[in-house]
Amino acid sequence: MNISISKLPGIGQKISLKTGEDSMLVLIVHHTGKRELYFFDDADSEEADFAMDLTSDETRELGAQLLGATYQPVDADKLKVFQNQIVIDWVELLEKSSLAYKTIEESEVRNKTGATIIGIVKGDETIAIPEADTKLQPGDVIMTIGKQDQIDTLSDLCKGEE
């Protein structure tokens, strides 16, 4: 990224940020506090593809978000390891399943498969973190978390293929 800063006499300051993809952001900060943000898809273009005015508070908030004030991305290598270990999936419960018409507790899903039920979609209703006494009905879509082999075992149970 290439950054250049120049004074605009009688106006304020111009900050230009040219990206590695040859785009450019230009921020003009007026002496009055007004901020103008321009985006050029092609850094050599004379006309901005997008422009907007920002208040000083909006500019600070944007800057804070860009710095990661509320969200820090996970290291890609760590995420790959995590994704290989833990899976979240949705499985439909079929009529022929041995789990049908049982409560989560009665079904012993966790003991039988190692997977954990973290949500259930029952028609238009969504149950997040269902209680142990929640009854599993055919047609329910079960949101589950676990390792891939655990999810596969639960999927087989839900299909009646145990």
Domain ranges of the chain: 2-67, 87-159
Q: Beta-strand (E) ranges in the chain?
A: 2-8, 12-18, 24-30, 35-40, 50-54, 87-92, 116-122, 125-128, 141-146
Q: Choose among 107, 108, 115, 117: nearest CA to 148.
A: 115
- Tell me the pLDDT tens digit for each residue of 66-103: 766 666 666 666 655 565 678 888 899 999 999 999 99
Helix residue spans in 88-141 (DSSP H)? 104-107, 109-113
C-alpha span between 44 and 9 (Å, rounded): 23
C-alpha span between 134 and 120 (Å, rounded): 9
Q: Choose among 91, 89, 94: nearest CA to 160.
A: 94
> Is the entire prediction scored with pTM above 0.75?
no
Q: Could you name the CATH architecture of 87-159? A: 2-Layer Sandwich (3.30)
Which residues, in sequence order, are bridge partners of residue 17? Answer: 3, 25
- Tell me the pLDDT tens digit for each residue of 132-159: 999 999 999 999 988 889 999 999 999 9
- Cβ neighbours, 10 Å, residue 99: 25
